[in-house]
């Protein structure tokens, strides 16, 4: 996106260096890398950065509004309601597709958002690898709020651990050793000493939660929650747990599970900004749009893009028996805004990552995640035969 930074990076790039970077990751965390790493980061200029931050601020203002919880109450399935909900999510992940506006300028458009953790460990790690192996301009940074690699590590340590010891904080998942994001789990342990623990290994005593660490019963004081209950229901419905999450356990959640549902596709129609495409609950339409080719149909209660329809026919909408559980969202036309060494255009998404400590008035933007694509959509299934695609990070202009 920034021409000078892009040209410098591409000139420094070689396939040999890229393979060396991947080999280094594999050597440091053997067997943990289970997704494609893109050959390049993104270089975001100041004008685009300002637009992204404006969109994020409008979203945060709405989440902070007194009526947000009331308007998102139905988002939480009764079967997954967890007691002792916090006043706000502990984290925010806000995804933007990069497009062109009516004047031909780069513009962000909101795709999705989550009150749920993302790859806070891996993204810092990956950005350091790009800087080590290729030319990344010092005028650009992967961090925000004047942070650098060292201060980011310290900020995240304080945020995740609070006043607890690392052994009393766990990263919660279902069979973490099998998850595609397990590299992030390994980095989280290396950086902050937090163990990834399967939910099947947790047990309760007198409203407190425990797990076995090296054979010793260890109290859990804080849960860095990476478990998506939809995934548990869909793929592990036959598993019996030793705990009942409908009980008010003496534990601090990061982030509380209810916020996964509140800040989600369900809340998209509540946000208004030039950088947020129109969306509306399907049940609120008196007449469906005649230009359905310009819309995406999304189920509110689905995981990892399941059930999304990008080629809608009117008949598809008329056969839906629960329209209150779907939204129509205007399509976002991604702009191939990055050029690889062969001159081919690449589309991208950028995810802004915030932390929101318990007593903080506002969330704090700390870093980001990016994904590159040459396919019809962002995602592995649409990019199997391409290079310069996959997981990446963005470096934002700092002056």
One DSSP character per residue, 181-212 reads THHHHHHHHHHH-PEEEEGGG-EEETTEEEEE
State how far the Cα of 378 lies from the Cα of 373, in Å rounded to an integer. 5
What predicted TM-score, i.e. pTM, was given to this entire model?
0.94
Which pLDDT value is given to residue 381?
A: 56
Cis link prior to 234 (omega < 30° from 0)? Answer: no
In DSSP terms, which residues pair with 94 in a beta bridge?
A: 113, 352
Q: Is 31 helix (H, G, I), strand (E, B) or coil?
A: coil
Which pLDDT value is given to residue 235?
A: 85
In this structure, the chain runs to a length of 399
CA 14 to chain centre: 29
Measured between alpha carbons, how far is residue 316 from residues 152, 213, 360, 377 in Å?
47, 51, 44, 21
Measured between alpha carbons, how far is residue 247 from residues 11, 80, 207, 243, 251 in Å?
57, 11, 8, 9, 11
Residues 6+ apart with CB under 8 A from 363: 60, 88, 91, 92, 354, 355, 356
The token pair at 19 is: 């393979």
Specify the pairing of strand 169-173 against strand 222-225: parallel
Per residue of the chain (399 residues), what is the pLDDT tens digit? Answer: 788 999 999 999 999 999 999 999 999 999 999 999 999 999 999 999 999 999 999 999 999 999 999 999 999 988 889 999 999 999 999 999 999 999 999 999 999 999 999 999 999 999 999 999 999 999 999 999 999 999 999 999 999 999 999 999 999 999 999 999 999 999 999 999 999 999 999 999 999 999 999 999 999 999 999 998 888 888 888 898 999 988 999 999 999 999 999 999 999 999 999 999 999 999 999 999 999 999 999 988 776 566 788 889 889 898 999 999 999 999 999 999 998 999 889 999 999 999 999 989 999 999 999 999 987 656 655 566 688 999 999 999 997
Burial class of 198 by CB neighbour count within 10 A (0 to 12, 13 to 18, 19+): middle
What stretch of H or E contains 225?
A: strand 222-225
Which pLDDT value is given to residue 380?
A: 56
Terminal alpha carbon distance of the chain: 15
Phi, psi (rounded to 5 degrees) for 293: -65, -15
């Amino acid at each position: 996106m920034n021409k000078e930074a892009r040209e410098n990076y591409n000139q420094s790039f070689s396939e040999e260096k890229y393979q060396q970077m991947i080999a280094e990751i594999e050597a440091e965390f053997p067997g943990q890398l289970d997704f494609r790493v893109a050959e390049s980061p993104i270089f975001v200029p100041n004008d685009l950065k300002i637009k992204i931050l404006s969109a994020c601020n409008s979203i945060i203002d709405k989440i902070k509004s007194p009526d947000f919880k009331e308007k998102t109450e139905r988002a939480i399935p009764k079967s997954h309601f967890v007691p002792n909900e916090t006043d706000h999510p502990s984290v925010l992940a806000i995804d933007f597709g990069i497009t062109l506006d009516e004047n031909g300028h780069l513009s962000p458009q909101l795709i999705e958002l989550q009150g749920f953790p993302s790859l806070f460990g891996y993204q810092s790690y990956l950005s350091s690898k790009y800087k080590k192996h290729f030319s990344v301009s010092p005028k650009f940074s992967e961090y925000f709020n004047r942070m650098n690699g060292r201060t980011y590590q310290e900020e995240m340590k304080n945020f995740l651990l609070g006043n607890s010891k690392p052994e009393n904080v766990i990263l919660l998942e279902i069979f973490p050793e099998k998850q595609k994001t397990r590299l992030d789990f390994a980095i989280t342990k290396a950086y902050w000493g937090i163990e990834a623990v399967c939910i099947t290994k947790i047990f309760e005593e007198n409203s407190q939660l425990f797990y076995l660490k090296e054979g010793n019963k260890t109290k859990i004081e804080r849960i860095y929650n990476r478990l998506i209950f939809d995934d548990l229901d869909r793929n592990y419905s036959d598993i019996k747990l030793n705990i009942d999450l409908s009980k008010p356990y003496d534990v601090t959640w990061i982030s509380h599970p209810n916020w996964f549902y509140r800040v989600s596709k369900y809340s998209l129609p509540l946000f208004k900004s030039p950088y947020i495409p129109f969306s509306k609950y399907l049940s609120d339409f008196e007449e469906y749009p005649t230009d359905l080719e310009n819309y995406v149909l999304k189920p509110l209660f689905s995981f990892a893009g399941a059930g999304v329809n990008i080629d809608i026919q009117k008949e598809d909408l008329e056969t839906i028996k629960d329209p209150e559980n779907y939204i129509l969202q205007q399509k976002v036309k991604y702009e191939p805004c990055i050029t690889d060494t062969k001159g081919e255009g690449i589309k991208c998404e950028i995810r802004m990552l915030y932390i929101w400590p318990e007593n903080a008035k506002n969330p704090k933007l700390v870093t980001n995640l990016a994904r590159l694509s040459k396919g019809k959509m962002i995602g592995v299934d649409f990019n199997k035969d391409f290079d310069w695609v996959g997981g990446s990070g963005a470096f934002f202009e700092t002056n």
